[in-house]
Structures are given as C-alpha cells and as structure tokens.
Structure 1
Amino acid sequence: EKAREQDWDDLDAEDEFDPIMVSEYVNDIFVYLREKELTTKPDPEYIDNMNQELSWKMRTSLVDWIIQLHYAFKFCLETLYLTINIVDRFLSVRPVPSAHLPLVGIAALFIAAKYEEIIVPSVEQILKAANNCNTPEEVFIVERCILRELEFDLNYPSPLNFLRRISKADDYEMFGRTLSKFFMELSLLNNEFLNYLPSQITAASMYLSRIMLDRPEWTPNLRHYSGYNEDELRECVSLLIQSLASPPKKWCRSVLDKYALPKFGKVSLFARQWLKRNIEKAEDLLV
C-alpha cells in the first residue's frame, strides 16, 4: 500500500551491489547532512551584527579573489565551498579589521585545502600566488584563531553533496549539471544567499537550469531527491535570476569568466543569452 502511495522511484535500489554508492546508508547520510547544514550556517547579517567595519562589497571582492586563487591551484570544488563557509562563519563570530580580511581568506583556503585536497601547497606558495606580503607565521596565527572560534568543526555539507543526490533524479545530464554548478558558484558572490541553505541553493540551481534547457517539470523524483517542492524554491530561483541579470562588474567577474571557458561548456554565456532571449519567462520566475 505504501508503495502505491509513493509517487517517486527508488533510484538507490540499482546501486545495491555498488559499494561506492553505499545505498544501504544513503538516506541516513542525507538526513544527517540536512541537519548539519543548519549548524554550519553563518549569520546572514554578520556585517551589521559583528563586523561593522566591513561591507558586503568587501565580502564579494574577497570571494571573487578566493575563486581566482582556488582556480589557479586547480583545487577541487569542495575546497572552494568550504573556504567561503569558513570565512563567513568566522566573520559571524569574530570582528575582523578590513586590512586583515585577505589574511582571513588565505588562512581559510589553507585550512580547507588541508581538509579536502590530497596534495596541499605550502603557505609560502599560497602567499606568493596571492601576491600577499603577510608572513607564514601570521597565517598560522589566524589559522589557529579560526579553528578555535569554529571549535574545529569543518564538517560542512556543501552544495556539491546535494547536487550529486539531485543529479541522480536528473539522469546525471552533464550540461544541466555544469549549468547548476555555475549558478551555485554565482551564489557565493551574493551575500543574500546566506539566508538559504546549501541544499536549497542546489535545488534552485537545478530547477533554473532545467527551465533554461526546456525541461521545466519538477518531477516527483526531483522533488523527493532534492527535498524541496517548487514553492520552496521560488525565492531562491528569483535571486539567482537577479544575480545573473545584474551587469557584471570588473572586480567580480571570476565565475562568469571561468564558466565561459570551453571546458565548462561555456554555460555562463549560454545562461546570459537565454536571459536576453527569454525576458518574459525570466520575469515570471521573479518574486
């Protein structure tokens, strides 16, 4: 009877004999990740509440710079998301002078790389790539300070965890997945997205990419494996469209330029052209 009520397919059943997919535990894992994303969420108002010397424009500039640095080292995407989460959570609990903001960014990248990467560059290499005149010792001091403030909790469920889950319900379609990754990365630059959870940003990114690829139906499988229905995504989708529609500024073009490369399917060009050609459709998605 329960099976008859269920309108989604059990896509984990096919992985029963694949030990890498841990299908036996996958539901428990994602319940845990959904709980964990609540405890690793930064304060969306931390500039007003904790860091009045900083501005949201400074944060955008810092994130853009970290994205460039991350790309130069060819780090995995998990490292990028963890770096930004470390920065935001640290600035939520500790006031930082604006002059020290790049140092916080470098220390956060160094921590994230040690947590996620197999081969980690030295602090000296990171400082050199960043054209930064701080000393390694200063980075270590900030690193210790960050880890103490965060109580060494680096177990952050990034949007990528949730993208892997939703992609299962989207048949792992490659272009749509890359387009979703572009939207997810674009969200890092806009502080308004601090109001949303990684799972929600991921679902909204997949929702918007499917609309752009003329596959607008949010199927029962997508609803189940993302954990969100369409109404719960509207605000976030609207914000993604606004971020995409705003004219790119010289000082925060890293995501647009990166995803305009052939290796990423030129998805940022595709998305911006779609927006120009489908103004009415896009306006319907705004709330």
Structure 2
Amino acid sequence: MFANTADHAQLHPRNALGDITNYLPARDAFEKQESLKYPLDENVDVSLSSLLKKQTENSSAQAPVEILPDPRLIDNSRTSEGNRKRKRLWKDVDSLNHDDPQACSHYAISIMEYLRKAEQTRRASPSYFNRQTDILPRMRLILVDWLVEVSEEFKLSCDTLFQSINYFDRYLSVFKVSRNQLQLVGITSMWVASKFEEVYPPTASEFSYITDYTYRKEELIKMEESILKELNYELAVPTAKTFLRRLLQVCEPNDELHYLSNYLTEVSLMDHKFLAYLPSQIAASAVFLANLMFNQYPWTATLEHYSGYHLKDFSKCLELLNYVLLLTFSRGKKGVFFTLYDKYANEKFLGVSKMQPIPQESIIKYLEKYLDYY
C-alpha cells in the first residue's frame, strides 16, 4: 500500500489505459471473432495429440489430459445404485467445524441460502452490450486486464477485484457510457470496491495517478456519486469468489487445487458471456474443472449437496470456462492480455496458469458421458 501520492518513487510508472479505440477492429469483424465456436480458431491448437506432446514450464502442474476420471466412479468406488447411493455419500462438513468460530457452521446453511437469493438480483444484465452504442466487448476485455494489473499494483484483495467488475458491469447495464469514459467507470468502480473491502484503501489521488492523470480526483468523486446512485447503494454482493470460498471449504483441496480453482474463477472475469451465469454456477464450474485437470473425481456427492447443483445445472458454464481458459492460455503464451496468466504463473501460486488446459472436444465428450450416466 502506498503511503501518499506525493511519494511517486514507491509507484512503478506505467502507461495509462490510453485510447482503447486503437486496439479495436471494426464492429462486424470483432463480433464475428468473439462468437463462441468449437473448436477454437487456427491460432489455438487444441487437438489431443498436439497437447499431449507439449510440456509446460512447470512440470509439477502438468494436466493429465489423456485420461479423464470415469464418471461411473463415485468417490473412487463403483456402484450400481447410481444416484441413490450418491446422495448418501455426502459428508457433513459443517458438523466437523463447530469448534471453529470463523466457519460459522451453525448457520452456514442459512447464510448460503441468503447469498443464493442475493445473487439473483444484484447482477448485471447479460445483454447490456446491446444497449451500449459506443463500446464493444473487446474494450471490456482490455479494461478488465488492466484492472487486474491495478489490483496487483495496489495489492488489493481478490474480493475487491470481483466487486469492482460487478459494479462496473451493473453500471453499464443501466447507464450508457462513452468509450472515453470507460476507464473512468472502471477505476472508480475499483475505488468504491476498495473502500468497501480494504482496511486501507488507496485514495482518489492514487487512483488518479495510476491512470497517468488521465482523470482528475474531482472526476473520480463525481463518477463515484453516479455509480452509487445507479447501483442504489447496493454494494454488498455475492460474487463467484464468495461461493468458491464455500466450495473449497467443503472439498478441502491441496494447495495446487486451491490456486487453480481461484485462477479459473478469475478467468471468468475476462469474458462478458459469463454474465449469463450465476456466480455460484461459475464457482461450481471452476472447482469441477480444476478437479478434472488434476485427474480427480470432479464432482463428489458432498460438493453436489452443498452447492445445490448437479452437473447439468452448470455444464454450459463449464464448457465456456474451459474455452476461455484455452484462450487465456494461448494469449498468455503470446504476451497478449497476459496479466492474469502472468499473475498465476508466479511461484507464489505454484505456477498453475502454466498448466496445459484440457482440449475442448475432450471436455464436451466427457460431459456427454457424465450426463448420460447420471
């Protein structure tokens, strides 16, 4: 955290987001490029034979894409009773945590019920780009990539980052924004979120500095007022990170699975198509995919019980998550929109972003087999 804005020696000079229109192709060309298609374009080789030949820089995080766990295996044991036995296999995690005051186990179920209701109402419109006349989805990608970098520069929590994107998307759902104001909305959303989440949030002057003074302190304050009014001051919102924290408490992961699940959840921030899914569905998809990448049974009876989701409830979200992960992996290798990839390539996170993703066609076939069985 920076002591004051006058001490610029503590801040690393950087280019501001700048004129993001310079990055953009024509609207028609971009919309054609961004449409979700399987398999990926020729720039991303997702064939099983190709991926099996590649070795990641971090061998300890190599994804075993060649063999996925058999969906007929339930907690490592075959059963002919199927779903009936599966429902009896879940573990009462909350009863094991009664002595931990931070677990809130006595009313954890009630808390999650409230959060599941809240996520339905405090979310952005999935189609808000249809009403925005001056901005494109690719501009959002550029901005989110930059906000990840800002959050790392200020050492903000992941919750602050998720809240920032939530405020940003919700604001654009109800208010038309010009492209020259887009960065202002993004950085002000992060300022509001940091004041809500952080013990020592950066000041308006510090956020102004991080934009290379593209926006003055007074402009941030004015935009803050507009954002708060349009959001009706509803700032306490459950995000995918909120639900992920609960699922990780339930499945008791090792460090690699923990970091990979967090990385996958943050990957969802990069694509506006995830606005069509609830935060709890995104968190479930992240845990499922992380387990699958480590060749573990992806969705135990305990996870199904505490999430309230069967795979069929989030399978499309899971397909999209793996697709965007493949794009992020490819971009990270090329140094394009690589901030999130670079963040989790650090040894602090065990380099989980270097892990080879599962080919999209393998994911689709596995899900078909899984859903047919259950």
Give the TM-score normalised by structure 1: 0.92
Among candidates 103, 109, 112, match of residue 30 of structure 1: 112
Cα-to-partner distance string for 1:59-118 (whole Å, 9 max, x where unaligned): 111111111101111101000000000000000000011100011111101100000000
Instruction: Give the aligned residue type for 1:131.
Output: D
Displacement after TM superposition at 1:126 (Å) = 1.5
Alpha-carbon spacing, 1:128–1:170, altered in 2? closer, same or farther (3 Å): same
Partner residue in 2 for 1:223: 304
Displacement after TM superposition at 1:42 (Å) = 0.3
Q: CA RMSD in A?
A: 1.8
Taking only the aligned residue pairs, the percentage that are identical comes to 35
Residue pairs, 1:113-192, within 5 angstroms: 113-192=194-273
Please state whether the residue corresponding to 1:69 is helix, strand or coil: helix
Aligned partners of 2:163 and 2:237 also within 8 Å: yes
Partner residue in 2 for 1:18: 100
Which blocks of at least 5 consecutive residues in structure 1 are unaligned?
none
Report which of the two has the higher share of helix. 1
Displacement after TM superposition at 1:250 (Å) = 4.6
Please state whether the residue corresponding to 1:25 is helix, strand or coil: helix
Distance 1:103 1:88 in 2: 13
Distance 1:281 1:216 in 2: 16
Displacement after TM superposition at 1:23 (Å) = 1.2
Displacement after TM superposition at 1:170 (Å) = 1.5
Distance 2:215 2:221 in 1: 11
Distance 1:250 1:191 in 2: 21
Displacement after TM superposition at 1:130 (Å) = 2.7
Instruction: Kindly indicate whether structure 1 or structure 2 has the higher relative contact order, using CA contacts under 8 Å at least 6 residues apart.
Output: 2
Displacement after TM superposition at 1:254 (Å) = 1.2
Query: Whose radius of gyration is greater, 1 or 2?
Result: 2
Partner residue in 1 for 2:352: 267
Partner residue in 1 for 2:180: 99
Among candidates 328, 332, 340, match of residue 255 of structure 1: 340
Displacement after TM superposition at 1:233 (Å) = 2.1
Residue 9 of structure 1 pairs with residue 91 of structure 2: yes
Mean Cα deviation higher: 182-191 or 156-165: 156-165
Residue 44 of structure 1 pairs with residue 129 of structure 2: no
Distance 2:361 2:125 in 1: 34
Instruction: Give the aligned residue type for 2:184.
Output: L
Mean Cα deviation higher: 121-130 or 255-264: 121-130
Distance 1:170 1:198 in 2: 18
Instruction: Give the aligned residue type for 2:269.
Output: L
Distance 1:285 1:250 in 2: 31
Among candidates 154, 159, 167, match of residue 78 of structure 1: 159
Mean Cα deviation higher: 66-75 or 216-225: 216-225
Partner residue in 1 for 2:73: none
Aligned partners of 2:243 and 2:283 also within 8 Å: yes
Displacement after TM superposition at 1:267 (Å) = 0.5
Distance 1:132 1:42 in 2: 29
Please state whether the residue corresponding to 1:162 is helix, strand or coil: helix
Cα-to-partner distance string for 1:162-191 (whole Å, 9 max, x where unaligned): 112111232232211210111111110111
Displacement after TM superposition at 1:159 (Å) = 1.5
Mean Cα deviation higher: 108-117 or 217-226: 217-226
Aligned partners of 1:47 and 1:56 also within 8 Å: yes
Among candidates 179, 189, 196, match of residue 108 of structure 1: 189
Residue 243 of structure 1 pairs with residue 324 of structure 2: yes
Distance 1:24 1:115 in 2: 26
Mean Cα deviation higher: 135-144 or 208-217: 208-217
Aligned partners of 1:16 and 1:23 also within 8 Å: yes
Aligned partners of 1:259 and 1:265 also within 8 Å: yes
Alpha-carbon spacing, 1:169–1:115, altered in 2? closer, same or farther (3 Å): same
Runs of 4+ in 1 over 2 A off after TM superposition: 278-287
